[in-house]
Amino acid sequence: MPRAVREQQMLDAAVRTFGQRGYMAASMDEIAELAGVSKPLVYLYLNSKEDLFTACIRREAQALTEAVRAGARPGLPADRQLWSGLTAFFAHTARHPDGWAVLHLQARTHGEVFAAEVAAMRAEIVAFVTQLILAAAREAHRDPDLPEREVSGLAEALVGAAESLADWANATPGATARQAAATLMNFAWAGLGNLMTGAVWSPPEEEGGDAGDGDEGGPRQAGRTSPVR
Amino acid sequence: MPRAVREQQMLDAAVRTFGQRGYMAASMDEIAELAGVSKPLVYLYLNSKEDLFTACIRREAQALTEAVRAGARPGLPADRQLWSGLTAFFAHTARHPDGWAVLHLQARTHGEVFAAEVAAMRAEIVAFVTQLILAAAREAHRDPDLPEREVSGLAEALVGAAESLADWANATPGATARQAAATLMNFAWAGLGNLMTGAVWSPPEEEGGDAGDGDEGGPRQAGRTSPVR
Amino acid sequence: MPRAVREQQMLDAAVRTFGQRGYMAASMDEIAELAGVSKPLVYLYLNSKEDLFTACIRREAQALTEAVRAGARPGLPADRQLWSGLTAFFAHTARHPDGWAVLHLQARTHGEVFAAEVAAMRAEIVAFVTQLILAAAREAHRDPDLPEREVSGLAEALVGAAESLADWANATPGATARQAAATLMNFAWAGLGNLMTGAVWSPPEEEGGDAGDGDEGGPRQAGRTSPVR
Amino acid sequence: MPRAVREQQMLDAAVRTFGQRGYMAASMDEIAELAGVSKPLVYLYLNSKEDLFTACIRREAQALTEAVRAGARPGLPADRQLWSGLTAFFAHTARHPDGWAVLHLQARTHGEVFAAEVAAMRAEIVAFVTQLILAAAREAHRDPDLPEREVSGLAEALVGAAESLADWANATPGATARQAAATLMNFAWAGLGNLMTGAVWSPPEEEGGDAGDGDEGGPRQAGRTSPVR
DNA sequence: GATGAATGAGATTTCATTCAT
DNA sequence: AATGAATGAAATCTCATTCAT
């Protein structure tokens, strides 16, 4: 059996095992057995547990970003791109729950090296989303000079919400990618639109610090604008 | 030294160790040493590594929910409650990064048993947020009969975004709880408001399923309503 | 059982196993079993196979040098000191064949770190022998300004011969420490004496280089002085 | 490529690897790679690691003995034969440090089987030296009936000193074969000469055995004859 | 109440060795 | 004649866990 094929089998087995058991609880024995090969062969091809895990992360990260990019077709309006990108994202994470667990849970929990690997992927996606937001602003003929920090924070929040919803969709039987995407669009799109119109929600003024855990008390005066309307 | 105090010291040490090393990489030796007691005493008080971890999760989960509940004062309008609850949440996670790592990263990564423990806490918070959304709808005199699934999905997304922003804030030097909360309010509040007015973002109609990875192709026709505009 | 005692038992077992099987072929399992303890305990007390081996080397090296120093009593004339030092050396190596194997065979064969450990001991002994040679020269009222390089080379050769004879004595049933020491004294002492009188054996003059393996052919002209006489 | 050539390449690689890494630390992988062939071929030609090592020992042993024999030309007087034999020995060990390491260090350290192989070579050399000593005695018209045990002990010591000096010369930059040989001749020849004249160094009389480590105490009265004086 | 001493079980990793071609 | 592909067996080391005191 050719080497490349075997290697993919091993990665399949590894992703599944890492995703379900966790990085540390997964044993090379189990992975080898699931792949249908002997342990030494896994080491021969993939060097070490760390390298194997890294290979899993890379493969799954690439698969995910490619799925998202393939979903969001460049020609469409920004909101449609966002919509289809999100749908592709939820569809992919639903189809590859173990890969998603490897990326979202395992890689971030077991050492800086692995975390950096996913962080790179995430940064790429966040940048992509940031571009979409800016494009949307342009399309809406709004001021495209949105503050850098705001937009990147928003993109962070959007991606974070998406990640979280992916978990929720995976854990909720019957939840579809379209539902998850629609929920997120509803949740986020109007907020983004408002932001572009300058109709921001302003926090109440700071009040005197209180004791206790240090969590500040409730605000006294609101300065809200549009929300709830 | 009274038992209760010793036990808290152990939990302190355990949370710190679990949060920094991870559940599996944390050794009982290290925890005992950090707590300043002998290993058998840890076992005497807390039974096993699993039980110890569970105790950590429960303590931190309770501390977090209490911080959030204490932040969001019942008398205020819904958006203000949400604001102050979020601020309390971000302040707490910033103040207790190890506890937050235990809840958000470790507990979800190492077995169903632990994940269920956090899931319970999360469900409580999601329910709380759901109540706030419904209250906001009432306050706005809008139809309070929002579809159950929609609202719970929104609350999920909101909580997910909050969790993600908490990580981001912990990793970004200079980021404050207020900033994180403001970002999230801006991001989400208008969307929630729109939702209540019935101005939802509707996904384009489904088209014929394609093959490949199963990620559906981009929508062709939009049916969007209000957003951006 | 107190820790110090257990530790010596482990070192005993380790020296025996390393001496008989060799450093690499000796397994920690075997050592632990021979010591009558579990493997983790060996690691708890002695850290690693390398550290355990180093501890063996140090203990045996110290025992050997102490035996030699105790044998060669300071007050005696130099030749008597050499004699009794040699006797003590052979007696010790005969009594502790595994320790001797560890020092002479194993430590020098398995890595610079270990080799350096014995090299230090050996240097100490060579220095001691060098002092004896110089003392002998003084006692004989001969010129004490023997060339440094000569004397150290001689001490090297003497120690080397002693080491080799120790192996031979260990492998030859019936050989005693006194016999080995006497052989070496006869072999070496007169040569040393001659050297001090300046009656050196001079090599024949160099001749033209020959080919082949590069080992030079036999000398053509002798320039010998006293030997065979 | 003819089999015999390939085999020699393998042995070259093996000697180098065994000499530098040690028998156990040397891997068949490394040897095969260094020899430029595949591992199965090594097994096809040389059967097993043990057999390969044995073949190395035999080849190097034969090369060394041949070099020594070729160096010591039969027609010369005994001391000249010894001198040139020693020079050839040191030249050979200096030229083939890995082979020497295999013979002197590795073979003696890894099992009786291999040790026996070198012991045979060594015995041959010792016998050769013994012949030289007896020849020297004859040439000196001294009593050729030297006690068997004495002479073989002396030859042992001489060979041992030579081996030790070979190590020293290999480790000392700038040391030449001639220097090493000269040192050894100076060291030993006079002693041998004295022995033949009957002027032996007699050990002091044995005294009452003491306890302790068993290393006998220093002698009280000397019975020495000629040395030094 | 508290601990020094000890271990069973299992982790990753390596290596000599052999098929099938 | 020669090798890519594969493995059984065993090595070092770690860790959660428990006695005996």
Test B79 with A224 for CB contact under 8 angstroms: yes
Count how many pairs of residues, chain C against chain D, have C-beta atoms within 8 Å: 272
pLDDT tens string C95-104: 999 999 999 9
| Closest CA of chain C from D227, distance in Å | 5
Query: B98 falls in which pLDDT band (50, 70, 90)?
Result: very high
Residue B62 pLDDT grade (very low, low, confident, very high; cuts 50, 70, 90): very high
Nucleotide at minimal C1' distance from the A47 CA: E13
pLDDT tens digit string along A23-33? Answer: 999 999 999 99
C-alpha span between C215 and A81 (Å, rounded): 83
Task: Indicate if the alpha-carbon torsion angle A206, A209, A210, A212 is positive or negative.
Answer: positive
What does the DSSP assignment read for B106-164? IHHHS-HHHHHHHHHHHHHHHHHHHHHHHHHHHHTT--S---HHHHHHHHHHHHHHHHH
Q: CB D227 to CB C178 under 8 A? A: no
Beta bridge partners of B86: none
Shortest-distance nucleotide from D32 CA to C1': F3
Neighbouring chains of C at 3+ CB pairs under 8 Å are D
Coil vs helix vs strand at C202: strand
Chain F nucleotides with an atom closer than 7 Å to a protein C-beta: 2-20
pLDDT of res. C195: 62
Q: Which residues pair with A202 in a beta bridge?
A: A223
pLDDT at A115 over 90: yes
What pLDDT is recorded for position D72? 86
B40 touches strand F (CB under 7 A): yes
Query: Which pLDDT value is given to residue C227?
Result: 32
Q: Quick one: pLDDT at residue D132? A: 85
The CB density around residue D144, as the number of other CB atoms within 10 Å, is: 13
Distance from C-alpha of B221 to C-alpha of B206, rounded to nearest angstrom: 9
For tokens 């073989």, the residue is D152
Q: Which of A109, A134, A172 to mutate to test the interface with B (most CBs of B within 10 A)?
A: A109
What share of chain C in percent tops pLDDT 70?
80
Tokens of residue A9, six digits: 């089998």
- pLDDT tens for the 229 residues of chain D, in order: 788 899 999 999 999 999 999 999 999 999 999 999 999 999 999 999 999 999 999 999 999 999 999 998 888 888 888 889 999 999 999 999 999 999 999 999 998 899 999 999 999 999 998 888 888 777 776 555 666 677 777 888 899 999 999 988 888 888 889 988 988 887 777 777 666 666 667 667 655 444 334 444 333 233 333 333 2
Number of alpha carbons in the 13 Å side-chain half-sphere of residue A88:
27
- Are D73 and C159 within 8 A, CB to CB? no
How would you write B157-221 as a 3-class SS string? HHHHHHHHHHHHHHHCCCCCHHHHHHHHHHHHHHHHHHHHHCCCCCCCCCCCCCCCCCCCCCCCC
User: Contacts of residue C95 in chain D, CB cutoff 8 Å?
Assistant: 213-214
The alpha carbon dihedral of D209, D210, D213, D215 has a sign of negative
pLDDT greater at residue D44 or residue A142: D44
Q: Would you place residue B195 in the very low, low, confident or very high pLDDT band (cuts 50, 70, 90)?
A: low
Of C76, C190, C222, Cβ closest to residue D191: C190
The answer to whether A40 CB is within 7 Å of strand E is yes
Look at D87 and C163 and tell me if their CB atoms are within 8 Å. Answer: no
Lowest mean pLDDT among A106-110, A147-151, B99-103, D130-134: A147-151
Res C21 pLDDT > 70: yes
Nearest nt to the CA of A24 via C1' is E11
The residue that minimises its CA distance to C1' of F19 is B40
Q: Read off the tokens for B10.
A: 């152990």
Q: By CA distance, what is B198's nearest residue in A?
A: A186
* C123-167 confidence digits (pLDDT tens): 999 999 888 888 877 777 655 566 666 777 788 888 999 999 999
Q: Which of A203-207, B16-20, C57-61, D10-14 has the lowest mean pLDDT?
A: A203-207
Distance from CA of D9 to the nearest CA of C (A): 18
**pLDDT (average), residues C84-102:** 95
- Cβ-contact D207, D220 below 8 angstroms: yes
Residue A37 Cβ < 7 Å to strand F: yes
Distance of C1' in E5 from CA in C125, Å: 40
Q: Which of B87, B161, B192 sits opposite A216 (nearest CB)?
A: B87
Q: What is the pLDDT of residues C181-190, one digit of tens each?
A: 988 887 777 7
Strand E closer than 7 A to residue C39 Cβ: yes
B168 or B192, which is more confident?
A: B168
pLDDT at site B15: 97
- Tell me what the mean pLDDT of segment B199-210 comes to: 59
Do D130 and C131 touch, CB atoms closer than 8 A? no
Res. C218: pLDDT tops 60: no
Please answer yes or no on whether C203 and D67 come within 8 Å at the CB atom. no
**Which among A179-183, A204-208, B145-149 has the top mean pLDDT?**
A179-183
What is the pLDDT at residue B11?
A: 97
Could you say which of C79, C92, C214 has the minimum Cβ distance to residue D95? Answer: C214
CB contact under 8 A, D110 and C25: yes
Does residue B57 surpass a pLDDT of 80?
Answer: yes
Residue C102 DSSP symbol? I
pLDDT value of position C36: 94
Residue of least CA–C1' distance to F6: A41
Tell me what the pLDDT averaged over chain B comes to: 83
pLDDT of residue D226: 33
- Chain D residues in contact with C77 by the CB 8 A cut-off are 222
